[in-house]
Structure 1
Amino acid sequence: MTSDSFFHPVSGFDLPRFAGVPSFMRLPVVQPDHPRFKDVQVGLVGVPWDSGTTNRPGPRHGPRQLRDASTMIRAQHAVTGKRPFETVNCADLGDVGPNPADIQDSMARITAFYDRLHANAIRPLTAGGDHLTSLPILRALAKQPLGMVHFDSHTDLFHSYFGGTMYTHGTPFRRAVEEGLLDPKRVIQIGIRGTMYDSEDRDFAKAEGIRIVTIEDFFARGVEDVMAEAREVVGTQPTYVSYDIDFVDPTFAPGTGTPEVGGPNSYQALQVCRELEGLNIVGADLVEVSPPFDASGGTAFLGVSIMFELLCAMVDGA
């Protein structure tokens, strides 16, 4: 399949990368009222929202820094030779405007935005935002329970925080399982590590059949073996990919709210995405980039490099 040239990004040979108004990967901006909106096949979306954060805030500023960093993304994958922008029609669909004073209203706005994408058969690649962002996206995409490949240092399977707060960046996938958005037996979480409050989240995972690959297992087995298991867990059915930047060791990605030491390096962060090839990916997100904790933009550049890898996996076989 060949994409429409309207949807090709601006080349650095035509306009310097530091010039022009930044969009995701220098793609055209095609918001829902644009006449070419219905021609988009993969839409890159910003969700500048972090009302689910319980520790260090800042991911609400992530999409803007990620867009700026993404001007360095070029057209061709260096290893596979894939040229995703020539395979499917990709566009920057703008930001979902949240209500920073109301979590429930923000989630309703996010779900409504993604409902429109789903109705137009547009697969979303999202830049968050904290990890609660994934829940309202899944509410729009999961017309049947989805599988999920989840890269993170935390399970985000907690029941509640602070005596009964049910919606935080530590609870989205507990809610998603309870709401029937995810098939827990087709969910795998990779890279889990760090000190723990207790074992409640892992007990829930075990009871529901969610597969957890700890960082110890990840390093002992290697990327290829772990990702072969991930492909086996989710199978050929529709699958969502959620990537928290704190999956990566904070040496390489310090700009995040809840860093955990002892994680993968930046090469391994890309490598796991390359092993997603062939999956039936209905959407993906990259969340928890917090610019206030890395003003250099290095974390954001790693983040958009991961997004490019996810994009290449999403368009595989299109």
Structure 2
Amino acid sequence: MGQDEIKYGPDTSGKAPRFTGISTFMKFPHTNDLEGVDVTVVGLPFDTLSSYRSGSRFGPSAIREISGFLRPANGYHKIHPFRYLSVTDYGDLPLLPGYHEDTYEIIEKAYTKIAQANVVPIGLGGDHSNTLAELRGLAKVHGPLSLIQFDAHGDTWDNYWGKKYTHGTPFRRAMEENIIDPHTSIQIGMRGTLYEPDDFDEARGFGFDLISAEQVREMTASELAQRIKARVGDRPVFFTFDIDFFDPSVAPGTGTPEVGGFTSAEGLTYMRKLTGINYVGFDVVEVSPSHDVSQITSLLAANIAYEFVCFQAVAKRASVTELAK
């Protein structure tokens, strides 16, 4: 795809300083137009189902604001993604605090529409409960999905206080609804205190491949990538990234921090090797700006979202190269 065929892309800093203007993600144009779009960034400002510290409803705006720091080209992948992709900022969905059923319906409807247009969404959370509705919308188009989850918590508990829908239960519900296949899904980085000693084993019993933080550290990044790719194969994949995967020393702005986590360098190294997968959606969740320090958590989340964009650009570059042969 030539540059003249790209419908939407970010404004360049050559026109104005990056800190000026309306804070869309990386200065992507804000539009709900899906024609000619490859990827769109979607704000999910909902945190009513957080179990402890709230505030992630303000995550999307914080991530967008700090994303002005990011430059367009990716040195690791040797790619300028916006020469291959048309990318927009869809804006925030009008989610309703206190009403998760209505909120889920809004997300599901929007994600179904996005998927039907063959556009890949990148969600900015918001708490992790939103991911269930994202999966519902995408599964209507793509069928049951495989899940790649970077997280400190498995989020497969059955309930909190007798309630089935919280940010600690989305993947239990998704499994029960048959919108993800646990036998082709993988959870990476789990750690911290538990409700029961065998909580991780329970998730494995459901069929998930769960790799604890301690096990991750015994692997090289290439070994981890091989295991993930073997697990999901060529199936449609949703990649969900909870910011509490990182240690609170580098990502303090989150509702459920867990010590013993990963550095930003480790996290980026692990995920950058995950190209060549059939992604149909992404999200980065649980950024809570009120607990952040100097915007470092929001900046890290913005970089994660940018890496998601680059995954799609690398895939598009490969397809263009193949067609040119």
TM-score range for the pair, normalised by the shorter chain length:
over 0.9
Counterpart contact for 1:2–1:88, Cα < 8 Å? no
Correspondence for 2:169 = 171
Deviation at 1:242, TM superposition (A): 0.3
Correspondence for 1:248 = 246
Correspondence for 1:111 = 108
TM-score for both structures, normalised by structure 2 = 0.93
Correspondence for 1:21 = 22
- Distance in structure 2 (CA, Å) of the matches to 1:192 and 1:72: 30
Query: What SS class does the counterpart of residue 284 from structure 1 fall into?
Result: strand
Deviation at 1:220, TM superposition (A): 1.2
Deviation at 1:314, TM superposition (A): 2.6
Counterpart contact for 2:252–2:292, Cα < 8 Å? yes
- Distance in structure 1 (CA, Å) of the matches to 2:312 and 2:6: 19
Correspondence for 1:145 = 144
The aligned runs of 1:34-183 (5 Å cut-off) are: 36-143=33-140, 144-162=143-161, 164-183=162-181
CA deviation string 1:212-234 (max 9, x = no partner): 10011111113221121011100
Deviation at 1:6, TM superposition (A): 4.0
- Distance in structure 2 (CA, Å) of the matches to 1:217 and 1:315: 31
- Percent identity between matched residues is 38
Q: CA RMSD in A?
A: 1.3
Query: What SS class does the counterpart of residue 43 from structure 1 fall into?
Result: strand
- Distance in structure 2 (CA, Å) of the matches to 1:73 and 1:41: 20
Correspondence for 1:258 = 256
Deviation at 1:83, TM superposition (A): 1.5
Structure 2: which 5+ runs fail to align? 317-325
Q: Greater shift after overlay, 54-63 or 264-273?
A: 264-273
Counterpart contact for 2:47–2:127, Cα < 8 Å? yes
- Distance in structure 1 (CA, Å) of the matches to 2:108 and 2:2: 30
Q: 1:229 aligns with which of 227, 230, 236?
A: 227
* Matched AA of 1:160: N
- Distance in structure 2 (CA, Å) of the matches to 1:55 and 1:204: 23
Structure 1: which 5+ runs fail to align? none
* Matched AA of 1:93: Y
CA deviation string 1:111-158 (max 9, x = no partner): 111111112111101111100010000001014111111000000000
Correspondence for 2:323 = none
Deviation at 1:273, TM superposition (A): 1.8
Off by >3 Å, runs of 4+ in structure 1: 2-6
Counterpart contact for 1:273–1:310, Cα < 8 Å? no
- Distance in structure 1 (CA, Å) of the matches to 2:313 and 2:170: 26
Residues matched between the structures, number: 313
Q: Greater shift after overlay, 59-68 or 79-88?
A: 79-88
Counterpart contact for 1:129–1:288, Cα < 8 Å? yes
* Matched AA of 1:223: A
TM-score for both structures, normalised by structure 1 = 0.95
Deviation at 1:199, TM superposition (A): 4.4
- Distance in structure 2 (CA, Å) of the matches to 1:300 and 1:2: 32
- Distance in structure 1 (CA, Å) of the matches to 2:135 and 2:262: 27
- Distance in structure 2 (CA, Å) of the matches to 1:209 and 1:133: 22
